[in-house]
Structures are given as C-alpha cells and as structure tokens.
C-alpha cells in the first residue's frame, strides 16, 4: 500500500500466470506468532486459492458489504485500485448493515492498473497461509469474471505514514515511546518472515505498509511483492528490481540480488523516518536534504549533532542516550555493506531492551500512557480526512494506507 509521495520501481510479475515459482517451506516462527504449513512445491493458481484459509466472496456480497462501493466508503487509493470500508457478519461473514458486525477493508483491483492479477494472487499466496500478530489479517477474496478483490481486517488508526507525515490539527503526533513500540512490532513482523520456517523476503517495507489497529499495534500489509528467500546453498534471489525509491537497498537496486538484508535496510530507513519525522524521499526539501539517508548519516553518531535529526514534536520525551541507541541501530541497518547489517531478530532484541530500560527508569511511561498522550484532546474514533471523492481517489487525501503506487516504467 503505497504513497503518493513515493514511486514504485520498475516491476516484474511476482507470480507467473498459472503457476507459482516459489518453493515454500513450512511457515512459522514464534516471535509471538504462528503459521500453518505451506506446500514446498510450485503451485497453480487454483491450488493457491483452494489451499488458502480464506473465504471466497461473491462480487454481490462485497458490493452489499460496501454499500455498492459508495464514494463515501473510500478509505484510500493507489496503483492497485481503491480501498473501501465495509461491514460483514462476524460469524457468517455475509454482508451486514453499516455499524453492525465487523468492519472490513475491501481492496478492489483497478483493471487498468499496472500491478493487477499477479500481485492479487501473491497476497493470497502469503497472507492466506501465514498467521502472526504483526501481519495484517486477510479474511477473503473475490475472483468473479473480471473482478479481483481482497478483504482485510480493518485497521482503525490507518498507516504509520499518515501519523508521521500528515500535518493537521486533528492528527496527534506519536509519542517517542509509542514510536519505538511500533518499530518493535514491525521488526517482529519482519523477523517472523525471515525465520527459517517462513523464509520470506518482504521486499516493500515502508511506512505506508505499516498499519495500526485501535491500540496502535503495528501490522505489516501488502504482500504483492513478497518473494520466497533463497534455498539450499544460494545466497540470494535474483529478480528484476521492485520496491519503492528511498527504501530499496542500494546493492539490490544495483544487482537485483535480493536477500533478507534488503529488508533490514528498508527497516533502517523507516526507523529514520520515525525518529526524524521526515520522509525517505522528499522533493519539497532543499536538494541536499531530499534523500533522508544521505542527509542524516553524518549526524547520527554525533552527540552534539544528533538533535538536528530528531523530530521536534517528541522533544523532551527521550534522553540523549536513547536517541543515540536508536540512531546507532538505524546506522547499522542502513549500512552500505549488507554483511554489516544486523538480523531482524537482533533488531527486535535491541528495541525490546530499549523499551524495557525506559519502563524501568519510569521516565516515559508505559504503552498505555503513550496512548493517552496520543488521544488527549482528540476523538477516540478513526481519524479520516475526507475531501471530495475525486481527490481521495487521486491519492491526495486518503488517510487509510493506499495500495501500492503504480510502478515506474522506464
């Protein structure tokens, strides 16, 4: 789920028509989650759909659930298509009246979009079988005539991107402690994907693909670009370059060699975004500040200069020691040399230790206290910014994470 400020890199089809070239192993890793067994042989489209633990919705069911895809139900938009808010019965999963049952997010494929059927199928292939507290839950899909839709759990707080970069009076800045907790949640999601049981490379880790539930618990979304990791003695997976400028690892962009460390680099970029409040790529800034990694790197290890990187909106909520710890972790993740980047399990441990030390010191309070700070003087319900429908579908105002932006064709 992309951003109107980011551009997807020239793409390949994640899956080939009729067959899945991935060799899947059993999914699962207890970074506090679990996964079901995944076949280890290439599978056809039919096998992927039949083996997934998902509900097959009819188009009319989803049409009813979203009130005929009404314009005022639009949550966001991107290269894949529009995302609509809907309601289904908790037990039967049939369409329900607005305000009853459970809320869902329905992503509808734009038939004229660049990404299309293969990324739709990739979402089902992964999220239909992998289960973890820090992965967004895919409830079902629709494959009927030319219609391609995906049905997800609704994430009331939208995307991390919106909370970091939207400047509006009704959007409360995330506290320092909450930012670290969100980073930890996202790190756990990546560590699960990288585990020996799952062996998945996410390939599109960015702030707009990190969704937040009602308690600001972070979950990874959008698996259209995910790939199985290397098997046997192979050190990497060779692909055409895909992803988002500013987040993709330099060696991957240069060679097309994809590894777990490619995801680690992307995590480091997002961690920088979280502590700085700046976008990975921001063309609205002076030329020397447009690339966050290049601009921030000289300041990150300097005790006197580190505060030039830090987001002013969390000033006073952290110590110099904490700032340097997080900055050092980001520096390790964005190392130009992949072998010097930590494993995601190591990142998880580092962030856990940071939060634990904060709680022991009692200097910044618990997650619950952070939530109170975020919600103070604000509405408790979902924060959606609605302008005209046309503007929302242009991706200019959508507050819910948008599907991935169209790939850049060269």
Q: Residue 237: enclosing H or E segment and its boundaries?
A: strand 237-238
Q: Which residue has the tokens 């290269």?
A: 79
Q: Which of 204, 222, 228, 263 is catalytic?
A: 204
Three-state secondary-structure class, residue 296 = helix
- C-beta separation of 247 from 270 below 8 A: yes
Rounded to whole angstroms, the Cα distance separating 277 from 162 reads: 11
204 is catalytic: yes
DSSP tag of 405: P
Q: Which residue has the tokens 């967004």?
A: 136
Rounded to whole angstroms, the Cα distance separating 122 from 15 reads: 7
Does the annotation flag 107 for ligand binding? yes
Write b or e for each residue in 206-227: b if 16 or more Cβ atoms lie within 10 A of its Cβ, otherwise e: bbbbbbbbeebbbbbbbbbbbb
List Cβ neighbours of 241 (8 Å cut-off, separation of 6 or more): 9, 10, 248, 252, 253, 256
- C-beta separation of 78 from 105 below 8 A: no
Choose among 117, 150, 121: nearest CA to 136.
150
DSSP tag of 314: G
Choose among 27, 49, 25: nearest CA to 39.
25
- C-beta separation of 211 from 236 below 8 A: no
Instruction: Return the active site residues.
Output: 204
Annotated binding site: 107
Annotated binding site for ATP: 107
């Amino acid at each position: 789920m992309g951003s109107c400020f980011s551009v997807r890199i020239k793409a390949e089809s994640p899956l080939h028509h009729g067959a899945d070239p991935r060799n899947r192993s059993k999914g699962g890793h207890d970074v506090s989650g679990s996964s079901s067994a995944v076949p280890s042989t290439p599978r056809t489209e039919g096998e992927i759909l039949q083996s997934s633990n998902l509900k097959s919705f009819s188009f009319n069911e989803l049409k009813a659930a979203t009130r005929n895809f009404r314009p005022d139900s639009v949550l966001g938009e991107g290269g894949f298509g529009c995302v609509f808010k809907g309601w289904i019965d908790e037990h039967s999963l049939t369409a329900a009246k607005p305000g009853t049952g459970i809320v869902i997010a329905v992503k509808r494929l734009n038939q004229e979009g660049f990404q299309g059927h293969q990324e739709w199928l990739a979402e089902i292939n992964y999220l239909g079988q992998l289960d973890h507290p820090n992965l967004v839950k895919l409830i079902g899909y629709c494959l009927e005539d030319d219609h391609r839709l995906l049905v997800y759990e609704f994430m009331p707080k939208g995307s991390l991107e919106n909370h970091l970069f939207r400047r509006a009076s009704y959007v409360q800045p995330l506290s320092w402690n909450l930012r670290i907790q969100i980073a930890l949640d996202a790190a756990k999601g990546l560590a699960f994907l990288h585990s020996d049981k799952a062996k998945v490379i996410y390939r599109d880790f960015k702030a707009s693909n990190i969704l937040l539930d009602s308690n600001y618990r972070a979950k990874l979304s959008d698996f259209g670009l995910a790939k199985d990791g290397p098997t046997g003695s192979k050190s990497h997976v060779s692909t055409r370059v895909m992803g988002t400028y500013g987040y993709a690892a330099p060696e991957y962009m240069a060679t097309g060699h994809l590894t777990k460390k490619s995801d680690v680099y992307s995590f480091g970029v997002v961690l920088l975004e979280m502590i700085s409040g700046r976008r990975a790529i921001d063309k609205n800034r002076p030329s020397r500040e447009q690339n966050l990694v290049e601009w921030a790197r000289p300041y990150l290890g300097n005790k006197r200069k580190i505060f030039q990187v830090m987001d002013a909106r969390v000033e006073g909520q952290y110590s110099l020691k904490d700032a340097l710890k997080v900055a050092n972790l980001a520096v390790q993740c964005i190392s130009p040399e992949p072998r010097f980047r930590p494993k995601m399990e190591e990142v998880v441990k580092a962030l856990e230790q940071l939060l634990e030390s904060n709680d022991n010191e009692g200097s910044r309070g618990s997650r619950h206290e952070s939530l109170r700070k975020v919600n103070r003087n604000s509405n408790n319900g979902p924060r959606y910014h609605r302008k005209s429908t046309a503007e929302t579908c242009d991706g200019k105002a959508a507050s819910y994470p948008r599907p991935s932006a169209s790939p850049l064709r060269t």
